[in-house]
Structure 1
Amino acid sequence: MESGLVIMGAMNQTTASPHSLTLPPMPKIPIVCLMGPTATGKTALAVALAQALDGEVVSVDSALVYRGMDIGTAKPDWAERDGVPHHLIDIIEPNQTYSAADFRRDALALIGDVHARGRVPILAGGTMLYFRALLDGMAEMPESDPAARAGLEAELAQRGAQALHQELQQVDSHAAERIHLNDPQRLLRALEVYRSSGVPLSEWHVRAQQSAYAGPVLKLGLIPEDRPRHRALVASRFMAMIEAGFADEVQALYRRGDLRLDMPSVRCVGYRQLWQYFNGDWDWDLAVEKAITATRQLAKRQMTWLRKESDLTAWNAFELNRAESVDFVRDWCAKSK
């Protein structure tokens, strides 16, 4: 998803940006962050923690924000939420976008609101980019301009990726080293930033002011230690979604007429593959096979993010003692007040 903000990770430079952004005040409120790959039981544990700790759940899932996308996203229904307030679910239409910057803004506001009610904010989900945006901070850069992007896309079609990558090499060699010429989205964004601001993308990273989360953070990771078991679970879970009417859900989206395959909502795992079935690109069996494969690849990427997390308390998703987990988090909350 395009955004005018950059995730700040390892960099710690604090030179002010020439286009400074007034970031939301950073609260010093203790938060619980429950992370993990898809199909590891995050929803059930988040609800259990919220019930035991008088908490509220803030979803950290880029797919749950969309209305009308329930089955394929494993969106918790009212029964699964079991009376626990959930936030950042069903907040936009599938033809709209929701960036990491949007999430950070909304999550910070919700953390303050939940805390003001005397409750514990529990952030749960598998969109690691959102966690990174909240915890490590973000920095401003020029907003994406649709007209400028359209012009760059026309240039890409006319001149080719190689020529545009060579141009990027001339104006921002550091970005060119990181961005492959077969990654048009990042390539065009890097050129757009330079052309609109006169400042290379890599320089924006250097100039950016970090704004990491200032309060105590408990990071919990649900890890599927038994990988073959998890791979089988991913497949059986997807087939259960099919039985629950997932194909009908995707077909309804396909028939809306205002959605395209390149939109973030349609590109969600499972939706993209069934969309291509309805589009006549693949037969049914191939679409299902590709959807299961894509879900497993998503889980692998999520695990890659988790391995980079510092101060992570990792629990085996298949051997979780829920009572002990709740006690652990309760003790942490008591010490962090």
Structure 2
Amino acid sequence: MTPAIFLMGPTASGKTASAIALVEAGLPVELISVDSALVFRDMIVGTAKPDAGELARAPHHLIDIISPEQSYSAAQFRNDALALMADISARGKVPVLVGGTMMYYNALQYGLHDLPQADAALRLQIEADAVDIGWPGMHTRLATLDPVTAARLAPNDAQRIGRALEICILAGKPMSELLAAPTAEPLPYTLHKLALAPNDRAWLHARIAQRFDLMLEGGLLAEVRALQHKYTLSLDLPSMRCVGYRQAWEHLAGEYDAATLRDKGIAATRQLAKRQLTWLRGMDDVETLDCQRADLADAVTTRIADWVRG
């Protein structure tokens, strides 16, 4: 079968630079972004989106495809990615899917699950309980019902904790168990999965802090102001729930000062990286490269070249 490659890793692990190096090395590949933030137009600084020069040298599919006012589901990603992969393969190239939105990879490989529909009355009860014991307390409750799902969610991730609890109660079984069951025919590709992960978590934390500082210096707050001016946005939208954007929005609303913005932005990004690494540890057939190595892009290119050339 035709090969397809997943190039995965936590935020700030060097995925974008490694993917661009594949194209610049002349490998017969095309890149498909697997990132729930890069789909939004005009969100550049806070998403660490490849710049115009990088995209000119190494085009990525599924970047800048919707407005920040819109939503983009895992189902939409799966449909778009499958169509792109078929087109890329038909032209004799190999699709390389690069990014860190692990739920998208899962949806692509295994399909989507028939989860219970939202129950308004139950959700109100869950939210009322959260008022009493806080979302960390609800996270602890989820851990008793579904420890696998709880392990990959931050204790204050109200939206996802609430939905996971709702599913557990309505289905009578853990959401992770429902999600583990394949729902689609196997992909018609020979899948190769490469993860970029640090041997030293402290190294990744330092990279995350450095990158968030660069985002602040590069105009993250000005970008959020411009988005608020151009679009009709709220914190309920997926675009503004992205790491960094929520914290910038709350700072601009006067909820906390610049130092707290930095602390909260870095902490949220670290939590995101932790969830991504948890997903990766639970995936099958993943080969890992240490993203701390100085020759990372060359090492990725060498490994993927082997897969591309068979």
> Contact between 1:234 and 1:295, CA under 8 Å: does it hold in 2?
yes
Task: State the match for 2:306 in structure 1.
Answer: 331
RMSD of Structure 2 on Structure 1 (CA): 3.1
1:96-147 Cα offsets, whole Å, 9 max, x none, are 1111111111111110111122211110001111111112232345766xxx
TM-score by length of 1: 0.75
Pairing 1:263–2:237 present? yes
TM-score by length of 2: 0.81
Residue 237 of structure 1 aligns with an amino acid whose one-letter code is R
Task: State the match for 1:23 in structure 2.
Answer: none
Task: State the match for 1:34 in structure 2.
Answer: 7
Distance 1:266 1:218 in 2: 33
For the pair shown, which has the larger CA radius of gyration, 1 or 2?
Answer: 1
CA distance 1:272–1:54, change in 2 (3 Å) = same
Residue 308 of structure 1 aligns with an amino acid whose one-letter code is G
Distance 2:48 2:78 in 1: 22
1:193-243 Cα offsets, whole Å, 9 max, x none, are x6xxxx767799499734342421111111122332221121111111111
Residue 334 of structure 1 aligns with an amino acid whose one-letter code is R
1:90-169 matches, cutoff 5 A: 90-141=64-115, 149=120
Distance 1:240 1:305 in 2: 27
Give the structure with the larger helix fraction.
2
1:34-55 Cα offsets, whole Å, 9 max, x none, are 0011111111111111333121
Give the superposition deviation at 1:258.
2.2
Find the residue that maps to 1:31 and give its secondary structure.
Answer: strand
Task: State the match for 2:164 in structure 1.
Answer: 186
CA distance 1:141–1:154, change in 2 (3 Å) = closer
Distance 2:82 2:163 in 1: 28
Give the superposition deviation at 1:155.
6.3
Distance 2:210 2:183 in 1: 45
Find the residue that maps to 1:109 and give its secondary structure.
Answer: helix
Distance 1:152 1:303 in 2: 31
Residue 13 of structure 2 aligns with an amino acid whose one-letter code is T
- Aligned-residue sequence identity (percent) comes to 43
**Worse-matched range after superposition: 128-137 or 202-211:** 202-211
Distance 1:239 1:284 in 2: 11
The gaps in structure 2 that reach 5 residues or longer are 132-141, 151-157
Find the residue that maps to 1:241 and give its secondary structure.
Answer: helix
1:264-306 Cα offsets, whole Å, 9 max, x none, are 1111111111111111211111011100111111111111111
Distance 1:234 1:77 in 2: 19
1:165-185 Cα offsets, whole Å, 9 max, x none, are xxxxxxxxx9993389x7333
Aligned counterpart for 1:50 among listed residues 23, 46, 59: 23
Q: How many residues align?
A: 287
Pairing 1:233–2:211 present? no
> Contact between 1:139 and 1:210, CA under 8 Å: does it hold in 2?
no
Residue 295 of structure 1 aligns with an amino acid whose one-letter code is T
Find the residue that maps to 1:58 and give its secondary structure.
Answer: strand
**Worse-matched range after superposition: 133-142 or 216-225:** 133-142
Residue 34 of structure 1 aligns with an amino acid whose one-letter code is L
Aligned counterpart for 2:198 among listed residues 219, 224, 246: 224
Residue 112 of structure 1 aligns with an amino acid whose one-letter code is A
